[in-house]
Amino acid sequence: MKAKVAVVIVLTIMVFSSCKSGKKPLSDQEKLKQEIAEKEKELLGKEDADADVANEMIAKYINYVDKYPEDVANAEYLFKASEIAMNFERPEDAVSFLSRIEKNYPDFDKYATSIFLKGFVYDNYLNDVENAREYYNLFIKKYPEHKLVKDAEAALQYLDIDDEDLIEMFNNVNDTIQ
């Protein structure tokens, strides 16, 4: 009899402890956010840039944005994906991600920076002077008080000057200073 009572007590404790764990199972969305956070730690924790991890990170961001189009994290994920794409020689993807921000997230706190970066990518990575000019001008017009306006104005000033002429200009400035 005591053995039966002990078994019942043990089973009851097991049932209650499994029910009282306090953790409900994570949804697929929460699991994907957790995977993203872990992958971000992995990418940021490395001293040397790892293209494979960067590509996995971009894929996770875009997968999340596509799967959960209404989530408030999407604009930030697209922004991060664009930064990684810029740094890992995927400028077309960077422009694509920034375009999605431009189209879908006008209230995003980094919206203005996204417009500037789109001009920057066109200018510095894709050598697309016309689109660079368009986005730098759009940025200056819409955000005249933004801290990056001077950068956009300087970029516009040098857009039509090739690298050799720029080097010569800077050398002349250095000669004048000395």
pLDDT, tens digit, for every residue of 107-161? 999 999 999 999 999 999 999 999 999 999 999 999 999 999 999 999 999 988 7
Mean pLDDT of all residues belonging to the chain = 84
Percentage of the chain modeled with pLDDT above 70 = 79
Q: Which two tokens stand for residue 3?
A: 């053995």
Per-residue pLDDT at 103: 97
Structural domain of 144: 27-177
Question: Is the pLDDT at 21 greater than 80, yes or no?
Answer: no
Task: Output the domain CATH number for residue 67.
Answer: 1.25.40.10
Number of C-beta neighbours around residue 136 at 10 A: 27
Question: Considering the domain boundaries, does residue 54 fall inside one?
Answer: yes
Question: Considering the domain boundaries, does residue 21 fall inside one?
Answer: no
| Total number of domains in the chain | 1
* Higher pLDDT among residues 178 and 63, named by residue: 63
Q: Which two tokens stand for residue 5?
A: 């009572």
Residue pair 136/155 in contact (Cβ under 8 Å)? The answer is yes
Residue pair 54/88 in contact (Cβ under 8 Å)? The answer is yes
Question: Considering the domain boundaries, does residue 12 fall inside one?
Answer: no
Per-residue pLDDT at 48: 75
- Average pLDDT for residues 92-99, to the nearest whole number? 98
pLDDT, tens digit, for every residue of 47-73? 777 888 889 999 999 999 999 999 999
**What pTM value is reported for the model?**
0.78
Number of H helices, E strands in the chain: 9, 0
Question: Considering the domain boundaries, does residue 19 fall inside one?
Answer: no
Question: Considering the domain boundaries, does residue 47 fall inside one?
Answer: yes
